[in-house]
Structure formats: C-alpha cells, structure tokens
Structure 1
Amino acid sequence: MARPRQFDEEQVLRAVRDQFWDAGYAATSLEDLMRVSGLGKGSLYGAFGDKHRLFLRALREYTDTSGGHLREMLASAPRALDALRAFVLAPVGDPSAARRGCLMANSTCELAAADPDVLAEARRTYEATTNLVADCVVRAQAEGDLSRDVDPVETARALLAAQQGIVFMGRTGLDIATLTATARTLAATLLPEA
C-alpha cells in the first residue's frame, strides 16, 4: 500500500516553477529542484515524473493561472479600451517582474525550437490569450471606443506581440522608464480611440 504524500503539491510546484523561472530549464539541475522543493529524488520524481514532465506541469500551472488572471482583468475593467491598454502596459507594472520576464515567454525563447511539448504549450497559451484579448477588442468596439473597421483577432495578435516585445526588452535590462514610455507609445498607436 502506497504511503500518503507528506508534502503540499501546490507549494512544491510553485517552488520548482520559480526555480525554472529564475534560472531557466537547462540551468536548473536535479539538485536545484530537490533543494527548492525539500524533496528527495525518489519523492520528487515519484510524484511528478522526470525533470521534463515536472517542468511541463509547472509551466501549465503557470499558464492556466496567468490566463485566469488575464480573463478576470479584461472582464472587470469598466471600459474595454482601458483593459486593453492595461494589458500592453502590464509588463512594466512591477520593475522587478520586468527583469524576470514571463515564464512562458522565457521558456518559448529557450526551448520551443527544440521541444515540441513546449512549442505546443506556447501555441495553446498564445492562442488562448489572443482569444481573450480579441473578445475585449469586440467589447471596445461595441462601447464605441475602437473603430469597427479593425479586425479583433488581428488587433489582439498585434497587442500580444507588442506586450511580449516589452517583456523581451525588460529581460535585456532596459531601464523601466524607457520600457514604460515604449509600452505607452505602443498602446497609443495600436489602440487609437474611434
């Protein structure tokens, strides 16, 4: 009979997620994962599988949580246009987060070209994000704040590309004032009022 787990699975996933986020996949060793999780190799791999499966599980938890936060932020804004602008400006909202970047974006840059599982997760995540943002564009059009002539999906992809560009530039160490000015310019250019 298997023994019950003596650890909090969500806490372990958060700890290993943060390790992968801070160091990247390749630079994270089994010893790092054991250290941050507080688990031995047998317990860690017994519960989550090998390093790759553990990484994919942590990445999926991250993207699902981030997607839920985005859905809530977009839906709760009084005006859709304000929500769309906030989406573009999100990477500069916290200077320390701007340096850390986005785990999905970081992982896509590091692994997507060689890892079909990461590529699939990136596509799933970016498509879901595009759909959420496109729905918000439609709402902004209905509210009269964006022209009905713009294509919601293409606009959403442009906003996502702009936002992820800010994320990437933040990872390069560009100062927060410059990043913020760039994000504001992108938001104003991509989201002109009707």
Structure 2
Amino acid sequence: MARNKAFDETQVLDKAVELFWSKGYNCTSANDLVDTLGLSRSSLYDTYGDKHALFVKALKRYKQELGGKLIEMIEQTEDVKATIAEILQMIVEQDRTAINPKGCFMVNTAVELSGTDPEIANIVNGNRADIEKALQTAIKRGQEKGQFSSRHDPIALTRYFINTFFGLRISIKFNNDPKILKDIIEVSLSILD
C-alpha cells in the first residue's frame, strides 16, 4: 500500500526552482537539494527522480509560472511600447538591488547547459519561441495602431527585443549601475521611434 506524501510537491518544486536559479545546475549538490528542500534523499528521488529530472521539472515550472505571466502581459497590452518599457524596467528592478543578482533562470540555464543538453535546450528554445511569438504579434499590432514606427520589420524588432531582454539579464549580473541600465533601456526603446 502506497503511503501519502507528507509534503506539498509544488512547494518543494518552487524551492528547487529558487535553489537551481541561484546556484545553477552544476553547482547544486545532492546535499544542497536535501537541505534546501527539507526531504530525505529517498523521498526526493522517489518523487522527482534524479537531479536532472528535478532540474527539468523546476525549469518547466519556471517557464509555466514566470514565462506564462510575461506572455500574458504581452498578449493583453493595449500599449505595446509601454509594455516593452515595463518589461525592461522589471528586469532591472528584479536584480538591481540584490547582493547577488540571480538574473533569469532560463537565461542562466541557456548559458550553462543548452550547448550540452538537448532536453534542456528544447525547453529553453521553447520558452524563447513562446515569448517571441507573443511579442511579434504585439509589435505588429502596435505598429498597425501607430503606437510606434513601422520602419523595422516586426520579426526583426521582436528578435532585437528578445536579445535585449536576455542581454540585460546577463549584464545586470555583473554591473548594476543605474545610469548604465537606464541608458540601455532608453536606447533600446528609441528603436521604436
């Protein structure tokens, strides 16, 4: 007869997201997992499988929760330029005052593992593709409404802003000077004029 689990799997998975996000995959040990998640090794592995399987579940959880919120924000906007500005500012504010900026779990994972792990690369690329699709639709809509210039192709603008979002996430990890970050945002938004 199977025993009921004495823990909330979703809460444990959220803790795993935070741990992997702050330490990365390779620097997270089995002891880190046991200590942070508050589970015995047997409960951890019986429920989530090995470290890699837990990491995949954590990355998918991040994609669903944070990626989903970003996509919803983009899809529901009436003012596309203002929403892009808001996203850029959110990226800055998330880590600007942190002692150890975490950046973006998805971007960190792309840098650490995408070149060596096809399963992880598929998740990272799927996340980027989902955001890109929503943003491209929004940019095209913003151009049609005259909210900003139609000088650039919507696909090219989308790729530019995806790159800016991800690049800003990396930049802020090693330089959180407000003037530099403000310059990046202002110049990025000027491309829409």
Q: Fold conserved (TM > 0.5)? A: yes
**Counterparts in 2 of 1:128-139, with a 5 A limit?**
128-139=130-141
The answer for the alignment partner of 1:21 in structure 2 is 21
Counterpart amino acid of residue 60 in structure 2:
R
- When normalised by structure 1's length, the TM-score is 0.91
Separation (CA, whole Å) in 1 of partners of 2:163 and 2:73: 19
1:69-114 Cα shifts (integer Å, max 9, x gaps): 1123223434122112223333112324692100000011111111
Distance change in 2, residues 1:96/1:16 (3 Å)? farther
**Counterparts in 2 of 1:42-61, with a 5 A limit?**
42-61=42-61
- When normalised by structure 2's length, the TM-score is 0.91
Unaligned runs of 5+ in 1: none
1:115-167 Cα shifts (integer Å, max 9, x gaps): 11111111101111100111110220121113345322221111010111111
**Counterparts in 2 of 1:18-167, with a 5 A limit?**
18-94=18-94, 95-96=96-97, 99-167=101-169
CA contact (8 A) 1:81 1:140 kept: yes
CA contact (8 A) 1:88 1:187 kept: no
Q: Percent identity?
A: 30
Is residue 160 of structure 2 the alignment partner of residue 175 of structure 1? no
Separation (CA, whole Å) in 1 of partners of 2:134 and 2:168: 19
CA RMSD of aligned residues (A): 1.7
Number of equivalent positions: 191
Separation (CA, whole Å) in 2 of partners of 1:84 and 1:174: 20
Separation (CA, whole Å) in 1 of partners of 2:4 and 2:183: 52
